[in-house]
Amino acid sequence: MSLKGKFKISLIAASTLASSSLLLAQQEYPAVLAGHLILPAETFIAAPKDAPLSLKHSGKFVTGKRNDVLQSVEGKSNGRRTGVSYPFNGQPIQGHSGIKRMSDGSYWLLTDNGAGSKANSPDFMLYLTHYDIDFANNKFEPKKTIFLHDPDKKIPFHIVNEATDKRYLTGADLDPESFQIVNNSIWIGEEFGPYLIQTDMEGKVLNWYDTQVDGKRVRSPDHFSQRLPSSPTEKISFEVRRSRGFEGMALNAKENKLYPLLEGALWQDANANYENDDNKNYLRILEFDLNSKVWTGNFWKYPLEANHHAIGDFNMIDEHRALIIERDNGEGVIEKACPPNTADQTSCFPNLPKFKRIYLVKFDKSNYGKNVEKLGYVDLMNIQDPNKLAKTPRSQGVLTFPFFTIENVDIVDDEHIIVGNDNNLPFSSSRDPNKADNNELILLRVKELLQRK
């Protein structure tokens, strides 16, 4: 055979191998329901006794204008009434935006900023809750709640409760979206700045870190240093889109590196072009050294399957493999979808979910600055339930997890993972068009996925 012929065959073989690898990387693995728990949407806790009176009720500023009449404004999800009204008496147990399984089988869950923005969340407290979770015995019970506070004034900007001794933090100060527990510290990935926050196990802030990418500080429009321009011709400069800061944050197996993951692609130039490869946006996984307390400058790329997608959570399962939730913005079930050309969409779902996946990815120091490898995924819209464990109606014979935001995933053992939604109370209704979402947790058997190396 001629050298030219051999070269041609080699190219074909290489192409076939690359195509096979791509297909294998995108392979779907089965997800079987092993447990299902529900915490009712209207679950509330009282603010601490030493909290300012303004925190006894929450949601007074959601509309932008102060409203002190409890339960006077019904929540809506894309125009659909959800049946739950605010302001609330107490603080809602909602907005679960990060989960961590402890060695004793209990779990910590993180609550995010409240109503979604700095302006409308000054009376929502920030906290983590320790849960007793037992799928076999139907337990989804809060054990202990710790509220974030900053009595030592580590946060370098003015906060809502500046003039108090405890200085409880609120949703107008920070938006915590991810966390890890290392020794006796909690490390929180924050979305507004974005910032990295260290607290003790009682929620007291110990340290605060700005975000650096390629040796430079990056900021969103909500970073504390930003100021509105004084004239229409002046521009504000930032690299992180609003609400696209740290959404997931993993911890390596040696527990000496954090991997904060941005929810949105960075803007890479003055023309507002996102960072992308061949028009496919990628998100940066950054690296923070816990020993030296510095950003190392190392990063990896997480390529989105579609540019409008977002990630929901990120946890390592060993030194080089991790679970990442990737999702679209759809919500709802097909049985209650709006018929074509329906003008009245107040009692049906106009934008059904099409993409709710958990990817198993792999990365290490050999591919700094390059794409993580997507080893495979499970489809949260295609959960098998042969033992009929689902506590909500199944859709076309399978359980779907059709929520707008799915922001919790962690490994349980070598066969199972746990997954949870962020119910955005009272603003998400994904199972019933006019009923606010509960807080749900599902236990999935995904042995075949976890065996991928």
| pLDDT higher than threshold 70 for residue 208 | yes
**pLDDT at 270 (0 to 100):** 64
| pLDDT higher than threshold 50 for residue 72 | yes
7-19 mean pLDDT: 43
Q: Which residue has the tokens 């997480």?
A: 302
pLDDT band, very low/low/confident/very high, at 397 (cuts 50, 70, 90): confident
**pLDDT at 273 (0 to 100):** 86
| pLDDT higher than threshold 50 for residue 190 | yes
pLDDT in tens, 151-169: 999 999 999 999 999 999 9
pLDDT in tens, 273-287: 899 999 999 999 999
**pLDDT at 271 (0 to 100):** 67
Beta-strand runs (E) in 365-447: 373-379, 405-411, 416-422, 439-445
319-347 mean pLDDT: 96
Lowest mean pLDDT among 149-163, 257-271, 338-352: 257-271
* 12/377: higher pLDDT: 377
Which is it for the CA torsion 258, 104, 203, 222, positive or negative?
positive
**pLDDT at 5 (0 to 100):** 47
**pLDDT at 80 (0 to 100):** 97
Average pLDDT across the chain, whole number: 93
pLDDT band, very low/low/confident/very high, at 272 (cuts 50, 70, 90): low
- The proportion of the chain whose per-residue pLDDT surpasses 70, expressed as a percent, equals 94
pLDDT band, very low/low/confident/very high, at 94 (cuts 50, 70, 90): confident
Q: Which residue has the tokens 């990630």?
A: 311
pLDDT band, very low/low/confident/very high, at 88 (cuts 50, 70, 90): very high
| pLDDT higher than threshold 80 for residue 41 | yes
| pLDDT higher than threshold 80 for residue 12 | no
**pLDDT at 16 (0 to 100):** 42
**pLDDT at 244 (0 to 100):** 94
| pLDDT higher than threshold 70 for residue 114 | yes
CATH code for residues 31-451: 2.115.10
N residues, the chain: 453
The Cα 268–Cα 287 span in angstroms is 19
